[in-house]
Structure 1
């Protein structure tokens, strides 16, 4: 009896010490935690390496020409890991996301030819993968995997995107066939959409113009995708910098942020500036309404750096020159009007996918030039409304964030909603968006491990 009592007294202090360390290492990032099981440790942890393979190795997938084609395969991997682990936590927005995916899948009945099933399946796979990335990241963070480990692959993706943007600045005419493009069957390789996805181009420009404007695009096929990716990644990178105070990746991010402004301005993406501006105004409005001004300094620094870059790059003149020579605004408005007229003919399910100028079925690329137009034309009005409902539900939940990290992530659904009339992001950028949303939702829903060096 005495020996047992002594052993009992010896066990009390280590237990208390471990509890104290764990309390410091696993601290709620945001107040108002609602989940009573927030402190429950899962026995089967999800690995981080799938995110590293997806985002961290992006330059390799781009060089192979498999960047977008292989992306849904990673979604299958995440789905297998989630279902194998079991007991998956579902964040806010899961219900509208599942309904939206169901509506998109049903719209396949509107495809007018069997050969369109391949591109439809690719787009559906990109959508499903994005939601799976958000779900996977959410559960990783709720399992108290260190925040820095979860966010590092997406930050590496950002560094690689900036580097490839500079490839477009320094070697604007870089173009070559990728291994995947060379391996495609002749009939498939001759089509414009597969060729755009697999061919390696540093920039997008008019090859028939006497004075072409080279706009950085790599690793994406179109420069608008590069601008959308930057709009989603800048808040993510700023959230990482506010949450992680040490490490070599932090140094890379601090250097890459100002460097990204040169290729960003050369894209001439007006929608990118509008989206980032809307996100900043949203955050500043929330902070001012609560009587806080802590975001004013970093925002002022970013704006000042951007203004200095405009002294070197005549961005306004370049945009004015482009719009005056191509009638891009009139072309867009005309395309929007034609797209809406077509939507009224099939409002419930749309047409399955955007129309392409490379077929005999459409004289104009209807359902392009914006996420909202692609969703309306391809999948109908109900699916589009469900997508916006998803962004609203997520934005409302993220509005509970009060830390600087949570605030930057809370701007993502707002930016995503604002850029929908201008650019489509049904590509890996959608996965980037939901990776940030997943981290933000985890922070406001439960305890997460914000200290990568603490014992677990």
Structure 2
């Protein structure tokens, strides 16, 4: 079988080898690495093509990739709500994800440009095998959930490398995640991935291809399909994966609506029977109880919501347009500003900002513009291909819908998005019009690259100007050790947490003190003053962002001083309350103790001695409380105010300017090329089509034109630019001499007006190709003052 995949004429072998060989790659520990390896032969195949065609609307994806690449410039800036500072590992994370985006781009182009070498059915069968492997991995996760062993690659890697969490997840063999949020341990299938969510997304996007591929063929094949779907239902429910359930439900609803709108009653009946079967299984088996238990225990809802909101708020506050390039670690956790992972609670540290969903990853990594480009591309691919009629096209639409539905809960960068882009390539194969070539789409931008570069630099300069005008605040930081103290006047209760201390440190008296000291509005001070904490400690971190170093230091020192003064007052008030109440209690206990002691002199009852002992113990406790109220420390400043001027604002503003400038330059080039640029004002080699100019003559000079046309006979006739009366007149005269016939499937000449737009010519050329007409030359109409073609025209005509 392997040698069949490797045959040169079998262009689908890289994709087939990826999915059919999955068990081997998993055991070797190179399962996801193989996607990068197989991208190499695909890229080599594309480079050998004279023209690399791409799906319609794919230019938006290319712009998205460029916009995402800009994020490398802001990858080290501080994000609000995240741990400040730089980390070189962010470049590795960014590079890994960006490489995934590149290889899914390659596979989409590869699928489009191999339509004459490998059928869509063959590619769908490869993805169908992926679903079979996912079901097999799910069954392993249910039957042997404790299975965990090193892969071949993990055993040969140095322990310092293999122990890294990122590397460990990639190369380690495990079958399930065992979690107990239902109140007991439950195995959630994950093989061949480290996490159940990755398994769930891949299973969902490969399911429609499995149905489309295996529903055709022999009765044995269809029976096997039903058996595998039954096992798949068992693993899908056992995964407790609500995102996958929603994706499967959305795909099913789409199929039902599509079948009803097209009158496919047989498909509607089959869908109804399948739905009834699934409902019966859930109702009369323990799987239904498992589903209900999962909905009764939405353990991850709060964490996902908090992380998503924090990611969005951080982006809107810090870098709304370009984002932050890569993810960031959260400062604290959602329970406390001093929260963090410990040996006793390793999961007390939340996931990084920008994770737990492709939606949040796109927003945090690429900003709002990146989100618009990403969503715009995905939605366009769905809408423009809704008329796809083949089973493979319908499966591809279902996969794209699953990717959209699961954006808030699944990070799609990986195998799931890879399968989705194979689907985009399959949908492009069914488009009735001629697909655009990458070189033709990029040609105007390459020709005007200098213009785009100048506008981008101007945008960066504008961002720099905004930074100069608005300035960048200097942030001063001071650390305060806050010992536990009774601030509520009730001994023995839980001491105030650092979150409560933070509220005191940002209270109205503190803000007012800083405002009076700096002579600034209180609202300005409130926004400039921020509070953090060292993880798992009693150390508060006060930060104040001032216009200059003096204001920053004075602001944070004033805030710290006022906070400690306020805390001293609260401790004093608490002590006064405790002393008043416990002194009275102490006197009362002394009186009772004396009275009972006198009674015990005459009657030494056992119960009286027990009462005396109890009173004596309580008297000691009261004395300890009173002793503990003396000279309690309010807190201590443990670091001097340290000013720091960050380049975050400068980097974000300049990068945003560069990005917006580049987008403006691209838009200007596109508008000029399609609507403003005239054919007669540029060389023929820059018109974007690969046919020569036959003649460039006056519209009235028909004899001279006929002489040039004879070199291209036989042609079926001449077609004219419909927007140009002059071109139509010349075409009519030429067709009368040529006795033109049916143009379909024949060679023709195009008559174009030199005053026409270049975009008009390009669209006419593509439209004729799509309708089966093959233009082989151009006739350019000129006025009487410009009859001779330019040098480029003469050279092209001579060469032809």
Shorter-chain TM-score range: 0.7 to 0.9
Separation in 2 of the partners of 1:187 and 1:93?
45
SS of the residue aligned with 1:399? coil
Give the C-alpha shift of residue 218 in structure 1.
0.6
The within-5 A match list for 1:43-442 is: 47-112=11-76, 113-141=87-115, 143=116, 145-206=118-179, 211-241=184-214, 244-246=216-218, 252-311=224-283, 313-322=285-294, 327-344=299-316, 345-356=318-329, 364-442=351-429
Describe the shift of the 1:144–1:185 C-alpha distance in structure 2 as closer, same or farther (beyond 3 A).
closer
SS of the residue aligned with 1:354? coil
Separation in 1 of the partners of 2:326 and 2:221?
39
Report the TM-score when normalising by structure 1: 0.80
Moved more, 413-422 or 438-447: 438-447
Structure with the higher helix share, 1 or 2: 1
Aligned partners of 1:271 and 1:419 also within 8 Å = yes
Q: RMSD value over aligned CA atoms?
A: 3.0
Give the C-alpha shift of residue 203 in structure 1.
0.4
Aligned partners of 2:326 and 2:364 also within 8 Å = yes
1:295-347 Cα deviation digits (max 9, x unpaired): 31232233233224324653454355456556321222111111111221222
Separation in 2 of the partners of 1:151 and 1:84?
25
Aligned partners of 2:179 and 2:188 also within 8 Å = no
1:68-108 Cα deviation digits (max 9, x unpaired): 23322222331121112332221123111211122222212
Aligned partners of 2:18 and 2:34 also within 8 Å = no
Describe the shift of the 1:146–1:307 C-alpha distance in structure 2 as closer, same or farther (beyond 3 A).
same
Moved more, 331-340 or 399-408: 399-408
SS of the residue aligned with 1:398? coil
Give the C-alpha shift of residue 45 in structure 1.
6.0
Separation in 1 of the partners of 2:265 and 2:392?
15
Describe the shift of the 1:251–1:77 C-alpha distance in structure 2 as closer, same or farther (beyond 3 A).
farther
Describe the shift of the 1:110–1:189 C-alpha distance in structure 2 as closer, same or farther (beyond 3 A).
farther
Describe the shift of the 1:266–1:363 C-alpha distance in structure 2 as closer, same or farther (beyond 3 A).
closer
Count of residues in correspondence between the two structures: 402
Describe the shift of the 1:294–1:409 C-alpha distance in structure 2 as closer, same or farther (beyond 3 A).
farther
1:407-452 Cα deviation digits (max 9, x unpaired): 33322222221111121221111111122232233123479xxxxx
Aligned partners of 1:155 and 1:253 also within 8 Å = no
Aligned partners of 2:205 and 2:398 also within 8 Å = no
Separation in 2 of the partners of 1:438 and 1:289?
25
Aligned partners of 1:348 and 1:379 also within 8 Å = yes
Of structures 1 and 2, the one with the larger relative CO (CA 8 A, separation 6+) is 1
Aligned partners of 1:370 and 1:422 also within 8 Å = yes
Separation in 2 of the partners of 1:132 and 1:323?
39
Give the C-alpha shift of residue 144 in structure 1.
5.4
Give the C-alpha shift of residue 166 in structure 1.
0.7
Give the C-alpha shift of residue 290 in structure 1.
4.0
Aligned partners of 1:173 and 1:202 also within 8 Å = yes
Report the TM-score when normalising by structure 2: 0.47
Separation in 2 of the partners of 1:407 and 1:88?
25
Larger radius of gyration: 2
Aligned partners of 2:181 and 2:299 also within 8 Å = no
Separation in 2 of the partners of 1:164 and 1:135?
30
Aligned partners of 2:129 and 2:210 also within 8 Å = no
Separation in 2 of the partners of 1:94 and 1:210?
48
Moved more, 424-433 or 111-120: 111-120
Residue ranges of structure 2 left out of the alignment (5+ in a row) = 1-7, 77-86, 333-339, 342-348, 435-800
Aligned partners of 2:52 and 2:113 also within 8 Å = yes
Residue ranges of structure 1 left out of the alignment (5+ in a row) = 1-43, 448-456
Separation in 2 of the partners of 1:216 and 1:439?
30
Give the C-alpha shift of residue 251 in structure 1.
6.1
Separation in 2 of the partners of 1:45 and 1:280?
37
SS of the residue aligned with 1:286? helix
Give the C-alpha shift of residue 364 in structure 1.
4.3
1:149-184 Cα deviation digits (max 9, x unpaired): 222222222211111111111111111111222333
SS of the residue aligned with 1:149? helix
Give the C-alpha shift of residue 351 in structure 1.
2.3
Give the C-alpha shift of residue 249 in structure 1.
6.6
Describe the shift of the 1:281–1:49 C-alpha distance in structure 2 as closer, same or farther (beyond 3 A).
same
Separation in 2 of the partners of 1:332 and 1:312?
32
Describe the shift of the 1:339–1:175 C-alpha distance in structure 2 as closer, same or farther (beyond 3 A).
same
Describe the shift of the 1:184–1:213 C-alpha distance in structure 2 as closer, same or farther (beyond 3 A).
same
Describe the shift of the 1:384–1:264 C-alpha distance in structure 2 as closer, same or farther (beyond 3 A).
same
